[in-house]
Structure 1
Amino acid sequence: MKMKQDKNSYHHGDLKRALLDASIRILKEEGYKALSLRKAALTAGVSQSAPYRHYADLESLYADIAEEGFRLLSERLKNFQSRYKKRPLLLFRESGVTYVEFALEHPDLFRIMYGNQIESHSRYETLVLAENDSFRIIVEIIQDCKNAGLIRTDSVEKSATAAWTMVHGIAVLLAGKQVMFRSVDLQKARKVTKELISFLYNGMKA
């Protein structure tokens, strides 16, 4: 007689996906401080010991969460690449805006992606690959602007680093409601980001 499958059993990677989805949900609903392996298991509807099949500790779960965040961010940026591939300057601006929007819409996920919850990202190979993929998109956007004769730069990669650093700083300040961004809503955040990206572009334009 075939035994009834336990409702808490998962196969072919389903457990890991279930735990990751549960963790993302916890971040969205309760914040990163509420996340633990035990809470992820409870939310996913599996036994408390189940997470240890994939995660040695909470940091290793954080690494997978961060990787998922970079994947989601890259998907957004790639969508803008497709939408504005013939309008590189608009792509340059809107990719910065969508980066900030992502940070504001997913503040706790963004915190894990860039915060100190993970001691060393270099310990997690697929996380580093996901990070590199998201940065490569920014490099491609700057390269498209240069190819179109819209900006001048001796180093596309350094210009991409400068653009990313500025937009990331905006995102962190807005998400944390810090300094001059204490009372800025999403609509105002878009406006502020566009204005600051314009300053950056004016410094690089051909």
Structure 2
Amino acid sequence: MTEKKDTYHHPNLREALIQETEKMLAGCQLDSITLQELGLRLGVTRSAPYRHFASKNLLLCAVAERACGRFKLMLRDIRLQAQLPPQERFRQMVIAYFTFAVGNPDYYRLLFREPLMGANQTPELAQSRASSFEELLLMLQECQDAGLVQVGDKGQQALFVWSTMHGMSSLLVDGHLRLDVVGEGIFEVLFQNIMQGLAAYPLAVASPL
């Protein structure tokens, strides 16, 4: 009988655990991910994964951190296309967000999974989230400078944009809406609505009465 490999004989078990988790996410198996299942898939002892991740939550935080990093790079690549006007780059960022969500439903669920939010997220994941959000803030600043949207609080403008994108994405990812029914044109409609909203209102903090 072949003895299972021990973690110390695995060249890089931590990385292997992350990569195997990513494979399961790509296969829409988020709810099946456990450290025990990953250990079985990788052929290591039951306790081996816990030497790298004390809990499933910490593993998912590491995977989400990496996903956030890739998402940020995608948004940054769009933002830095200097040959395109700001509005077109902003449009592409919004469309890319929707495309990522509907094309990678379990990745999207992971990034906004309640157990990985707030105090349950690692400092590294929190920083990665903030770094991704910064790309939206930078794009909004360019749109303000170009006179495309009202000059105002970029943080509140970004929350307005993100809540609109996240709302539609969640409806699609969770099956409350079907993309083949509403059509991909809905993304363009939402972008136009976002632009109209940002152009009409400064979205500044209201003064207390």
Class of the TM-score when normalised by the shorter of the 2 chains: 0.7 to 0.9
Query: Which residue in the other structure is 2:15 paired with?
Result: 17
Q: Structure 2 CA distance, aligned partners of 1:65 and 1:99?
A: 19
Q: Is residue 81 of structure 2 the alignment partner of residue 87 of structure 1?
A: no
Contiguous gaps of at least 5 residues in structure 2: 201-209
Partner residue, 2:195:
201
* 1:98 is aligned to 2:109: no
Q: Which residue of 1 aligns with 2:45?
A: 47
3-state DSSP class of the match of 2:132? helix
Query: Shift in Å at residue 22 of structure 1?
Result: 0.2
Check conservation: 1:74, 1:134, Cα contact below 8 A: yes
Asked if structure 2 preserves the Cα contact closer than 8 Å seen for 1:121 and 1:128, the reply is: no
What value does the CA root-mean-square deviation take over the aligned residues?
Answer: 2.3
Contact 2:95 2:188 in 1 (8 A): yes
Pair 158,40 (structure 1): closer, same or farther in 2 beyond 3 Å? same
Cα separation, partners in 2 of 1:119 and 1:200, compared to 1, 3 Å: closer
Aligned counterparts, 1:47-126, within 5 A: 47-83=45-81, 86-118=84-116, 120-121=118-119, 123-126=121-124
Contact 1:69 1:110 in 2 (8 A): no
Specify the code of the residue in structure 2 equivalent to 1:201: M
Moved more, 111-120 or 130-139: 111-120
Distance in 2 (CA, whole Å) between partners of 1:136 and 1:77 is: 10
Q: 1:62·1:117 contact (CA, 8 Å) conserved in 2? A: no
Q: Is the 8 A contact 2:101 2:169 kept in 1?
A: yes
Letter in 2 for 1:149: G
List alignment gaps of at least 5 residues for structure 1. Answer: 1-5
1:49-74, Cα deviation, whole Å (9 max, x unpaired): 22111111111111112212211211
Measured in 2, the distance between the counterparts of 1:116 and 1:148 equals 37
Q: CA deviation at 1:128?
A: 0.2
Task: Assess, with a 3 A threshold, how the Cα gap between structure 1 residues 48 and 186 changes in structure 2: closer, same or farther.
Answer: farther
Does 2:147 match 1:149? Answer: yes
Residue deviations 1:134-177 (CA, integer Å, cap 9, x gap):
10000001001111121113211211111111111111111122
Matched residue, 1:188: 183
Which amino acid in structure 2 is aligned with residue 100 of structure 1?
F
Q: For 2:81 and 2:192, how far apart are their aligned partners in 1?
A: 20
Identity %: 24
TM-score by length of 1: 0.85
Q: Paired residues, what number?
A: 195
In structure 2, C-alpha distance between the alignment counterparts of 1:50 and 1:87, rounded to whole Å = 51
Contact 1:41 1:47 in 2 (8 A): yes
